[in-house]
Amino acid sequence: MAKNILITGASSGLGAGMAREFAKRGDNLALCARRLDRLQQLKDELAAAHPQIKIAIRTLDVTDHAAVFGVFRAFRDDLGSLDRVIVNAGLGQGVPIGKGDFARNKAIIETNFIAALAQCEVAMEIFRAQKHGHLVIVSSMSAMRGQRGGLTAYAASKAGVAALAEGIRADMLRKPAIKVSTLFPGYIRSEMNAHADPKHTPYMIDGERGARLLVEAIEREPAKAYVPWWPWAPLGYLMHRVPLSWVAKLL
């Protein structure tokens, strides 16, 4: 049965890749991002390939918290309900702490954590009213431990959303019709990391495969999923246990 799926940050990268994968499965889509022109191109592509599905698009800057509430509720009204919300929008590389770019690191925390909180608030409001739904939060393998250099603020933000997801999941333990999943992707090629040094991005996989594996994980509705499982699940186990000096060499 087709699901109604909302994806933030859907104009490019993993958000657009997941939209393509869900469209192949016949699901209806609610897609939002800052770049409406890119969303329209994606909608046209998906509508041509999958004319049977419904696709709604809206522009959204997730750091405009009032707009997040308004857009999510409007999408629910467009499609009649929301079965799944994927909190995906985010920023990547920051600057080492104390190197003079507080504004960039602040933007990462605000986008990846505080804006994610707003998305979770309205998604859970809708799911509680419906009495069903699936909240998916995209964290990162960087959340396993504190990271050095330009990843420090990013890793902190992704650790924050992982803890946020776990807290919401704890709230829902007695409400099995509402699922909460946390995804921990490893390195997946996207616009965000297109120019990353291969020495600092081990085990990178291409974006198409990464989006497919993310969607396959989401469809299982797990509490947590490492994507891809190998080598990231074993590495995640090690990252919690080895000395910090080793972690600094891993990622």
Tens digit of each residue's pLDDT (9 = 90 or more) over 108-160:
999 999 999 999 999 999 999 999 999 999 999 999 999 999 999 999 999 99
List active site positions. Answer: 154
Structure tokens of 217?
């994980």
- Position 199 scores a pLDDT of 63
Its sign, for the CA torsion 154, 156, 158, 164, is negative
**Which helix H or strand E contains 15, and what residues bound it?**
helix 13-24
Alpha-carbon distance of 28 to 23, in angstroms, equals 7
- Position 41 scores a pLDDT of 97
In this predicted structure, the answer to whether residue 68 has a pLDDT above a threshold of 90 is yes
- H helix and E strand count, the chain: 9, 7
- Position 197 scores a pLDDT of 61
Structure tokens of 22?
């869900």
Tens digit of each residue's pLDDT (9 = 90 or more) over 22-67:
999 999 999 999 999 999 999 999 999 999 999 999 999 999 999 9
In this predicted structure, the answer to whether residue 251 has a pLDDT above a threshold of 70 is no
CATH fold of the domain at 4-250? Rossmann fold (3.40.50)
pLDDT tier at 192 (50, 70, 90 boundaries)? low
Tens digit of each residue's pLDDT (9 = 90 or more) over 157-186:
999 999 999 999 999 999 999 999 999 999
In this predicted structure, the answer to whether residue 239 has a pLDDT above a threshold of 90 is no
